[in-house]
A = this chain, B = another copy of it.
Amino acid sequence: MNIRLYNARIMSMEEAGVIKEGEIWISGNVISYVGEAKEQTEELIWDREIDCNQNLLMPGFKNAHTHSAMTVFRSLCDDYNLQDWLNNEIFPREANMTGEDCYELTKLAILEYLTSGVTAIGDMYLTPETIADACNDMGMRCVLVSGLNKFGPALCVMEDRYNKLNGKYDLVSYKMGVHAEYTCSRELLEEVSDLIHKYQAPLYVHMSETQAEVEECVGRYGITPPALFEELGLFDFGGSIYHGVHPTAEDMEIFKRHNISVITNPASNAKLASGIAPIGEYLRQGINVGIGTDGASSNNCLDMFREMFLVTALAKLKENDPAAVDAIKVLSMATVNGALSMGLEDCDVLAEGKKADIIMIDLKQPNMQPINNIAKNIVYSGSKMNVKMTMIDGKILYEDGKFADGIDVEDIYAKSNAILERLR
């Protein structure tokens, strides 16, 4: 499809927060032009020309850490702390989940991502094969991340998936990762280290989410989780840590040294009372920070607007400084920085040659009026209701409140509810 999006405001995110008027051309799955209004050349035939009516085009949000299929646990087990929630509520129910369940429940999550302008996800969950199928079938860009742990499939399964799932679908890649220090033995972590060295692969992991987790690791090994992972060589090829709520100053040095991104999940960290991550300090240290929703059981929604506001609001509270982590920085985290953390540099900004992962923000809703500082407004006032269009890889999947033809919403709801009844 060749699509022309004209009469638009464009925030390309090449320079964070800068907005220009113009238009964008999409040829297949790639952006072929971004710039001022331009005369159509003769040889181009548009499948669609969309008058953006002065609404805003920007890169889609990158939800850099989630567990999509946990939609089934939404509002099922609230008001617990992380360890009780995981051990007593989540793990026993997950034991009964099938790959087919994950497929359907991931599709439900993707519907919600589309309403929130999310065009790529970093997904760590039980059955990567069926998550990959769901993303491919729905058109969602997905970086799968292994959640290897001592209870789950063996190391060879992760290696097998790494080789089979990378390259299987254009929209899907697969990264090596472990669930967390506290769900892995030292022996297993050493084996993982061997494997990432074999492939020179970055590593992804939940880390320093709660104070208790850090203390237990120090109790076991005498060092913090980041120090342990560094010692084992697990950070030798970069990667990301999820949460990073309770780092020491030394941990921050480790992240810098190994080019580790921190993915913050403020709603989940608040709801589970895990704490507030020191985002301002990460930024001052020059560490790359992305944003994730975490799963729908600990959040409970998959809404990058709520996350963006929380990142800045909680930073202001934590630092007792209303200027802390301002809106423009947060916009970068939710787009470019998240893309960087997942190895998605080909769809980070709106520029010629980049993948066409584009959203349109409806500025004609009352929460965006009057038209003042649009970039700040998206972070401080934006809402899912402002997402007028979500395009992934050149395909419009959500537009004016409707999902694309071929997405059977009622069927996804029915199957999700049936799974809930079984797992409740």
Contacts and interface: CB of A to CB of B under 8 A. Distances in A.
Given A79-B322, A306-B306, A385-B385, A71 B111 contact: no
A346 interface: no
A72 B372 CA distance: 9
Contacts of A74: 369-370, 372, 377, 380-381
A273 B108 contact: no
B369 A271 contact: no
Nearest to A73: B372
Contact of A367 (B72, B112, B267): B112
Contact of A309 (B306, B320, B376, B380): B306
Interface in A35-72: 71-72
Nearest to A419: B370
A80 interface: yes
A199 interface: no
A371 to B, nearest CB: 6
B76 A373 contact: yes
Contact of A364 (B272, B309, B313, B413): B413
A319 interface: yes
Interface stretch (A3-11, A119-127, A173-181, A297-305): A297-305
A13 interface: no
A53 B21 CA distance: 42
Interface string A235-248: 00000000000000
Interface stretch (A26-34, A186-194, A323-331): A323-331
Nearest to A387: B385
A319 to B, nearest CB: 7
A366 interface: yes
Nearest to A401: B401
A324 B56 CA distance: 39
A396 interface: no
B317 A275 contact: yes
B322 A75 contact: no
Contacts of A301: 367, 380-383
A416 interface: yes
CB-based closest 5 A-B pairs:
A270-B313, A301-B381, A111-B366, A112-B366, A300-B380
21 contacts: A74-B372, A75-B376, A75-B380, A78-B373, A78-B380, A112-B367, A115-B365, A115-B366, A271-B312, A271-B380, A272-B322, A273-B324, A276-B317, A300-B377, A303-B383, A306-B306, A364-B413, A370-B416, A370-B420, A371-B417, A371-B420
